[in-house]
Amino acid sequence: MSVLQENLTARDRSHRIAPRHFVLSARLLPILMLAQFFTAGLSLFQNAAFWEWHAAIGALVAIPILALFISTLLVRSVRALRWWAGCLALLYVLQIVYIVAGQSTGSGLLQAMHPFNGALLLATALVIIAKIERSHQA
Protein backbone atom coordinates (compact mmCIF):
# COMPACT_ATOMS: atom_id res chain seq x y z
CA MET A 1 0.00 0.00 0.00
CA SER A 2 1.43 3.40 -0.97
CA VAL A 3 1.87 6.30 1.45
CA LEU A 4 -0.90 8.19 -0.33
CA GLN A 5 -3.30 5.27 0.05
CA GLU A 6 -2.38 4.93 3.74
CA ASN A 7 -3.04 8.63 4.30
CA LEU A 8 -6.40 8.40 2.53
CA THR A 9 -7.32 5.34 4.56
CA ALA A 10 -6.37 7.10 7.80
CA ARG A 11 -8.34 10.19 6.78
CA ASP A 12 -11.40 8.09 5.90
CA ARG A 13 -11.18 6.32 9.24
CA SER A 14 -10.86 9.62 11.12
CA HIS A 15 -14.16 10.82 9.69
CA ARG A 16 -15.81 7.71 11.08
CA ILE A 17 -14.30 8.34 14.51
CA ALA A 18 -15.41 11.98 14.82
CA PRO A 19 -17.44 13.95 12.29
CA ARG A 20 -15.82 16.99 10.75
CA HIS A 21 -18.18 19.42 12.51
CA PHE A 22 -17.26 17.87 15.85
CA VAL A 23 -13.52 18.23 15.24
CA LEU A 24 -13.91 21.81 13.99
CA SER A 25 -16.04 22.77 16.99
CA ALA A 26 -13.51 21.24 19.36
CA ARG A 27 -10.62 23.08 17.72
CA LEU A 28 -12.47 26.41 17.56
CA LEU A 29 -13.38 26.38 21.24
CA PRO A 30 -9.91 27.02 22.75
CA ILE A 31 -9.32 29.80 20.22
CA LEU A 32 -12.52 31.53 21.29
CA MET A 33 -11.69 31.01 24.96
CA LEU A 34 -8.23 32.48 24.56
CA ALA A 35 -9.87 35.44 22.84
CA GLN A 36 -12.05 35.72 25.95
CA PHE A 37 -9.02 35.95 28.21
CA PHE A 38 -7.36 38.44 25.86
CA THR A 39 -10.38 40.76 25.64
CA ALA A 40 -10.80 40.64 29.42
CA GLY A 41 -7.19 41.72 29.77
CA LEU A 42 -7.63 44.47 27.22
CA SER A 43 -10.72 45.64 29.08
CA LEU A 44 -8.87 45.84 32.37
CA PHE A 45 -5.59 47.30 31.18
CA GLN A 46 -6.35 49.26 28.00
CA ASN A 47 -9.94 50.23 27.31
CA ALA A 48 -13.14 49.22 29.11
CA ALA A 49 -14.95 49.19 25.77
CA PHE A 50 -13.48 45.73 25.16
CA TRP A 51 -15.97 44.31 27.69
CA GLU A 52 -18.52 44.35 24.85
CA TRP A 53 -16.18 42.18 22.76
CA HIS A 54 -15.68 39.92 25.76
CA ALA A 55 -19.44 39.48 26.14
CA ALA A 56 -19.99 38.91 22.42
CA ILE A 57 -17.28 36.25 22.20
CA GLY A 58 -18.69 34.67 25.37
CA ALA A 59 -22.07 34.30 23.68
CA LEU A 60 -20.38 32.91 20.55
CA VAL A 61 -18.65 30.23 22.64
CA ALA A 62 -22.06 28.64 23.23
CA ILE A 63 -22.26 27.50 19.59
CA PRO A 64 -19.33 25.04 19.56
CA ILE A 65 -20.19 23.89 23.09
CA LEU A 66 -23.74 23.07 22.03
CA ALA A 67 -22.49 21.43 18.84
CA LEU A 68 -20.18 19.19 20.85
CA PHE A 69 -22.78 18.27 23.45
CA ILE A 70 -25.60 17.62 20.98
CA SER A 71 -23.26 15.59 18.77
CA THR A 72 -22.38 13.32 21.68
CA LEU A 73 -26.08 12.64 22.13
CA LEU A 74 -26.76 11.95 18.44
CA VAL A 75 -23.55 10.60 16.87
CA ARG A 76 -22.49 7.14 17.94
CA SER A 77 -18.80 7.59 17.16
CA VAL A 78 -18.38 10.42 19.71
CA ARG A 79 -20.62 9.12 22.51
CA ALA A 80 -17.54 8.24 24.53
CA LEU A 81 -16.95 11.99 24.90
CA ARG A 82 -20.44 12.64 26.28
CA TRP A 83 -19.20 13.04 29.85
CA TRP A 84 -16.59 15.62 28.81
CA ALA A 85 -19.01 17.50 26.57
CA GLY A 86 -21.54 17.49 29.40
CA CYS A 87 -18.93 18.93 31.75
CA LEU A 88 -18.18 21.58 29.18
CA ALA A 89 -21.86 22.52 28.90
CA LEU A 90 -22.26 22.59 32.69
CA LEU A 91 -19.16 24.76 33.11
CA TYR A 92 -20.50 27.16 30.48
CA VAL A 93 -23.82 27.50 32.33
CA LEU A 94 -21.90 28.06 35.58
CA GLN A 95 -19.82 30.71 33.80
CA ILE A 96 -22.96 32.73 33.10
CA VAL A 97 -24.42 32.09 36.55
CA TYR A 98 -21.25 33.25 38.29
CA ILE A 99 -21.09 36.57 36.50
CA VAL A 100 -24.83 37.35 36.49
CA ALA A 101 -25.39 36.32 40.11
CA GLY A 102 -22.20 38.03 41.19
CA GLN A 103 -23.14 41.31 39.55
CA SER A 104 -26.73 41.27 40.75
CA THR A 105 -25.79 40.50 44.37
CA GLY A 106 -22.54 42.44 44.37
CA SER A 107 -20.68 39.30 45.45
CA GLY A 108 -17.02 39.58 44.59
CA LEU A 109 -16.57 35.88 45.41
CA LEU A 110 -19.02 34.79 42.71
CA GLN A 111 -17.48 37.19 40.21
CA ALA A 112 -14.01 35.89 41.06
CA MET A 113 -15.21 32.37 40.21
CA HIS A 114 -15.88 33.55 36.63
CA PRO A 115 -12.21 33.62 35.44
CA PHE A 116 -11.37 30.48 37.43
CA ASN A 117 -14.27 28.68 35.76
CA GLY A 118 -13.06 30.02 32.41
CA ALA A 119 -9.75 28.28 33.01
CA LEU A 120 -11.63 25.04 33.75
CA LEU A 121 -13.57 25.48 30.51
CA LEU A 122 -10.34 25.87 28.57
CA ALA A 123 -8.78 22.83 30.24
CA THR A 124 -11.85 20.71 29.49
CA ALA A 125 -11.85 21.83 25.85
CA LEU A 126 -8.18 20.87 25.56
CA VAL A 127 -8.90 17.42 27.04
CA ILE A 128 -11.58 16.88 24.39
CA ILE A 129 -9.15 17.85 21.62
CA ALA A 130 -6.49 15.52 23.05
CA LYS A 131 -8.98 12.64 23.15
CA ILE A 132 -10.07 13.30 19.56
CA GLU A 133 -6.48 13.46 18.32
CA ARG A 134 -5.54 10.29 20.19
CA SER A 135 -8.52 8.40 18.76
CA HIS A 136 -7.66 9.56 15.24
CA GLN A 137 -4.09 8.34 15.61
CA ALA A 138 -5.13 4.89 16.82
pLDDT in tens, 12-69: 444 457 899 999 999 999 999 999 999 999 999 999 999 999 999 999 999 999 999 9
Instruction: Give me the domain span that covers residue 9.
Output: 3-137
HSE of 111, CA atoms in CB hemisphere, 13 A: 7
- Segment 62-91, tens digit of pLDDT: 999 999 999 999 999 999 999 999 999 999
The reported pTM is 0.85
Q: How many domains does the chain have?
A: 1
Q: Are 57 and 35 in contact (CB under 8 A)?
A: yes
pLDDT band at 136 (very low <50, low <70, confident <90, very high): confident
